[in-house]
Amino acid sequence: MDTRFWLIQTFNGVSYGALLFLVGSGLSLIFGVMRIVNLAHGSYFLLGGYVALSVIWATGSWLLALPVAAMAVAVLGLVMERVFLRPLGFDPLRQVLLTVGFAFLLQQAALDIWSGNNFDISPPAALTRSVVLGGLYLPLYRVFMIAVALAIGLALWLTMEKTRLGATIRATVDDAQMARGVGIDTSFISMLIFALGAFLAALGGVIGGAFLGIYPGLDFEMLPIVFAVVIIGGMGSLGGAAIGALLVGLADNFGKALFPEVSYFTLYAPMALILAVKPTGLFGRE
């Protein structure tokens, strides 16, 4: 286990964490603002990938696929929120179950539309090379994932901290009733956040698609992992999502590399333990 091993594994863990942050940040925001546990988040991720595939097949452009897929799923998220979730009001259990019901429906629909073959998203050739740094092969695509996560994270943070919109969102997260009291249109904020969450998840799906593949079942496979990120980091906290993603990415990576025997538990055991000690997650508020 020389330094190269540790460096590469850290790099791998960070890049995986970057992808998880993309998907997890949306989920964390959705919970923070609306207290909704969106079990269809994995489906958004997968649908993002599928839509991207269709765009690539139709136009050959991977660059175009990114925004198109993300927007398309954002619209889907919007519709789901307005038509199905809003009328339920604050009822966590029913929200959970409704989103699960949708997850099943979306899975079947995806199967019918795109077939069940295993697909791979091919990024532009420039990104498939590896950069050699000090004898270490760093796949450029992983670097790309880290870059995107940083960019998005920065954009989100700036919006939250420096803009009025961000302030209204933070107010709604902290105390929705008070926010309404001072005239903030919380239902608009909710809608916006849900769409944003779906957008980010789908973006994660397109980017992750080149890394994980696109196939039926990926939605439910991603779900527990993304939830681990958000739970560990704490619901509703963007910074928490970032830390959580980093921790999960590193723990999973190092866990599998050093203790491959317990590969199945490197994700869940720490999650269960952290929750047992601090049920609202590391940075969560309740």
The nearest distance, CB 54 to other proteins, in angstroms, is 15
Write out the two tokens for 273.
Answer: 């333990």
Tokens coding 41: 């988040």
- Which residue's CB is nearer to other proteins, number 152 or number 231? 231
Half-sphere exposure of 275 (CA within 13 A, CB side): 13
Q: Which is nearer to other proteins, 132 or 182 (CB)?
A: 132
Query: Considering only residues 5-34, where is the footprint of other proteins by CB under 8 A?
Result: 5, 8-9, 12-13, 15-16, 31
Quick one: which of 127, 46, 244, 240 has its CA closest to 252? Answer: 244
Q: Of 152-160, 195-203, 220-228, 236-244, which part binds other proteins (CB under 8 A)? A: 220-228
235 in contact with other proteins (CB under 8 A): yes
* Stretch touching other proteins by CB under 8 A, among 68-76, 98-106, 175-183, 190-198: 98-106
| 43 lines the binding site for other proteins (CB under 8 A) | no
Per-residue x/- marks for other proteins, 137-176, CB under 8 A?
A: x-x-xx----------------------------------
Query: Does residue 212 contact residue 10 with C-beta atoms inside 8 Å?
Result: no
- Least Å distance, CB 260 to other proteins, is 7
List the one residue out of 173, 200, 207, 177 whose CA is nearest residue 70: 200
Instruction: Supply 274's token pair.
Output: 């952290």
**Could you tell me which residues are beta bridge partners of residue 138?**
131
| Closer of 103 and 168 to other proteins (Cβ) | 103
Q: How far is the CB of 20 from other proteins (least distance, A)?
A: 11
Joined together, the tokens standing for residue 25 give: 């940040």
In the set 98, 148, 176, 201, which binds other proteins (CB under 8 A)?
A: 98
> Which tokens is 66 given?
């990114």
Q: How far is CA 187 from CA 6, 26, 113, 156, 226, in A?
A: 47, 17, 33, 20, 25
At 48 the three-state DSSP class reads helix
Residues facing 214 on adjacent strands: 119
Of residues 13 and 204, the one with the C-beta less far from other proteins: 13
CB of 150 to other proteins, least distance (A): 19
Shortest approach of other proteins to residue 130 CB, angstroms? 5
Instruction: Please state, in angstroms and rounded to a whole number, the distance separating the CA atoms of residues 170 and 198.
Output: 19
Quick check: 56 binds other proteins (CB under 8 A)?
Answer: no
Measured distance CA(228)–CA(247) in Å, rounded: 10
Per the CB < 8 A criterion, the answer to whether 81 and 254 are in contact is no
Considering only the stretches 62-70, 122-130, 160-168, 190-198, report the one whose residues sit in contact with other proteins under the rule CB under 8 A. Answer: 122-130
Q: Residue 127 carries which DSSP code?
A: G
The residue range among 86-94, 151-159, 169-177, 182-190 that interacts with other proteins, by the rule CB under 8 A, is 86-94
Interface with other proteins by CB under 8 A: which range of 143-151, 169-177, 190-198, 226-234?
226-234
Query: Does 44 interact with other proteins (rule: CB under 8 A)?
Result: no
Structure tokens at 171: 């107010």
- Measured from the CB atom, the residue of 62 and 254 that comes closer to other proteins is 254
